[in-house]
């Protein structure tokens, strides 16, 4: 079965530039039909646990950057994390994403190993753990993989080196080459590998975004989470707010990115991200209608959420995990999509990659 369409860079740029309503809708419909064809009317859910906002980095766009002294820092206790995992299990979810700021110290590395082992012991064999804990050494990635984490998310943010440098400080600890190197290591270690970019960054063009999609295709990425860039008032990039496109334009551009990616890579897992919902109340549903097949409802305890604000207007700050899940399930059902329970939810692309190895 042929699973990938050939699109030239020029065609991708054209599709990303569509703004006429009917043309755009036709793109979304085609991407959705492709998703339904290959993956069914099915949505995979992962519970997102933002287990620590301590971060050694200073990305210029991020609300929990180390330099933001207004943030109250926390790290959830293992028991609290396990409690969130059991909420995920009770609701039939078969995986969680463990996300935190970036730390590379030995104590953190050890803590994550312990956490993975505890979750492994508390869950079924089919339960999947995805880590989203930034740039680490080969040794650390290997250690966490050996402990039982099967997936890793490391967003490139942008695959253009100059643009990357413009959104990160030049302080010796934010290196494009290292980010790229880490992504390659993650793949080599054997994780189902996820990446993604922010959409609508100051200075970002559709050409940059087309190259991001081609990068994802060329690297054979298994899972993608990408969403609109949204400013946070307490960050240096907030100053550049005059030179960015409007939130609604970013939102639609993000939907077109999802749709084109679905055409390019029909069998990968694509998440409809929280950032979409921050701009539009039905953002996540619209992401699914444009070809995404994964949702990551936040199941972190409410008391921590206000301290994990990567950008302004982050939704679901006051709704607890169960309520959040219930709402979401209703909305998915309304769309005529079915939530996948008791299934690994592995990226089909990854499975085929393993088989052809
Ligand atoms: N707007 C949108 N996404 C953001 N992230 C961080 N800050 C922002 C922001 N201001 C995303 C980055 C990072 C992920 C954890 O959150 O892509 O990789
Ligand atoms: Fe830290 Fe990630 Fe935010 Fe960068 S984007 S400051 S690494 S939490």
Q: Evaluate if residue 68 carries a pLDDT over 50.
A: yes
Nearest partner of 273 among 337, 197, 187, 168, judged by Cα: 197
Tell which one of 49, 61, 163 to mutate to probe ligand 1, the residue whose CB is within 8 A of the most ligand atoms: 61
- pLDDT per position as a tens digit, 309-323: 888 777 766 666 666
- CA of 132, nearest ligand number: 1
pLDDT band, residue 233 (cuts 50/70/90):
very high
* Ligand 2 atom showing the smallest separation from residue 66 Cα: 6
Locate the ligand 1 atom nearest the alpha carbon of residue 198 and give its number. 17
Average pLDDT over residues 84-106: 94
Q: What confidence score (pLDDT) does residue 191 get?
A: 97
The encoded tokens of residue 190 equal 């054997």
How large is the C-alpha radius of gyration of the chain? 19
CA of 275 to the centre of ligand 1 (A): 8
- In this predicted structure, the answer to whether residue 3 has a pLDDT above a threshold of 60 is no
H/E run at residue 132: strand 128-132
DSSP H stretches of helix in 123-173: 138-147, 161-166
pLDDT tens digit sequence for 117-133: 999 999 987 789 999 99
Q: What is the pLDDT of residue 1?
A: 44
Q: What gap in Å lies between CA 330 and CA 339, rounded to an integer? A: 10
For residue 155, the CA-to-ligand 1 centroid distance in Å is: 9
Residues forming beta bridges with residue 47, ordered by sequence position? 96
Q: Which atom of ligand 1 is nearest to the CA of 231?
A: 10
Q: Extract long-range pairs of 183-188: CB within 8 Å, 24+ residues apart.
A: 183/154, 183/156, 183/219, 185/138, 185/141, 186/141, 186/152, 186/154, 187/219, 187/220
The 10s digit of each residue's pLDDT in 260-291 is: 999 999 999 999 998 999 899 889 999 999 99
The C-alpha atoms of residue 185 and residue 181 are separated, in whole angstroms, by 6
Token pair recorded at residue 106: 């030995």
Non-local (6+) Cβ contacts of 80 within 8 A are: 301
pTM here is 0.94
Average pLDDT over the chain reads: 92
Phi, psi at residue 212, to the nearest 5°? -60, -45
Residues 6 or more apart whose Cβ sits within 8 Å of residue 288: 32, 43, 272, 295, 332, 335, 337
Segment 177-181 shows an average pLDDT of 98
Task: Give residue 318's pLDDT.
Answer: 66
| CB-ligand 2 contact for 174 (6 Å cutoff) | no
* Beta strand 128-132 pairing with 223-225: unpaired
- How close is the Cα of 94 to the center of ligand 2, in Å? 26
The pLDDT of residue 63 is above 60 = yes
Lookup result for tokens 């006051």: 318
pLDDT digit string, tens, across residues 130-157 = 999 999 999 999 999 999 999 999 999 9
Compute the distance from residue 53 Cα to the ligand 2 centre, in Å: 9
Query: Can you tell me whether residue 83 is helix, strand or coil?
Result: helix
């Amino acid at each position: 079965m042929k699973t990938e369409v050939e699109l030239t860079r020029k065609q991708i740029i054209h599709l990303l530039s569509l703004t006429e309503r009917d043309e755009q809708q036709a793109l979304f419909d085609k991407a959705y039909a492709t998703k339904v064809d290959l993956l069914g009317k099915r949505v995979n859910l992962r519970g997102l646990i933002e287990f620590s906002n301590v971060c050694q980095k200073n990305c210029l766009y991020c609300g929990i950057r180390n330099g933001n002294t207004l943030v109250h820092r926390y790290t959830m206790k293992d028991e609290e994390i396990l409690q969130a995992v059991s909420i995920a299990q009770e609701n039939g979810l078969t995986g969680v994403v463990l996300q935190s700021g970036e730390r590379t110290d030995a104590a953190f590395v050890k803590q994550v190993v312990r956490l993975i082992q505890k979750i492994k012991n508390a869950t079924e064999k089919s339960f999947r753990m995805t880590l989203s804990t930034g740039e680490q050494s080969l040794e650390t990635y290997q250690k966490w993989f050996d402990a039982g984490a099967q997936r890793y998310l490391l967003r490139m943010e942008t695959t253009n080196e100059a643009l990357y440098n413009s959104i990160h400080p030049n302080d010796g600890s934010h290196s494009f080459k290292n980010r790229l190197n880490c992504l390659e290591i993650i793949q080599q270690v054997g994780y189902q590998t996820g990446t993604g970019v922010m959409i609508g960054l100051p200075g970002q063009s559709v050409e940059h975004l087309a190259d991001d999609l081609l990068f994802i295709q060329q690297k054979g990425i298994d899972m993608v989470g990408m969403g609109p860039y949204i400013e946070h008032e307490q960050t240096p990039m907030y100053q550049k707010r005059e030179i960015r496109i409007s939130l609604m334009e970013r939102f639609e551009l993000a939907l077109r990115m999802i749709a084109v990616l679905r055409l390019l890579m029909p069998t990968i897992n694509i998440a409809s991200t929280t950032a979409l919902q921050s701009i539009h109340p039905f953002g996540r549903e619209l992401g699914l209608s444009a070809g995404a097949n994964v949702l990551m409802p936040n199941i972190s305890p409410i008391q921590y959420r206000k301290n994990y604000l990567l950008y302004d207007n982050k939704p679901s700050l006051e709704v607890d995990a169960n309520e959040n899940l219930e709402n979401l399930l209703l909305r998915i059902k309304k769309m005529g999509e079915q939530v996948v329970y008791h299934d690994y939810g592995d990226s089909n692309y990854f499975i085929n990659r393993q088989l052809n190895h």
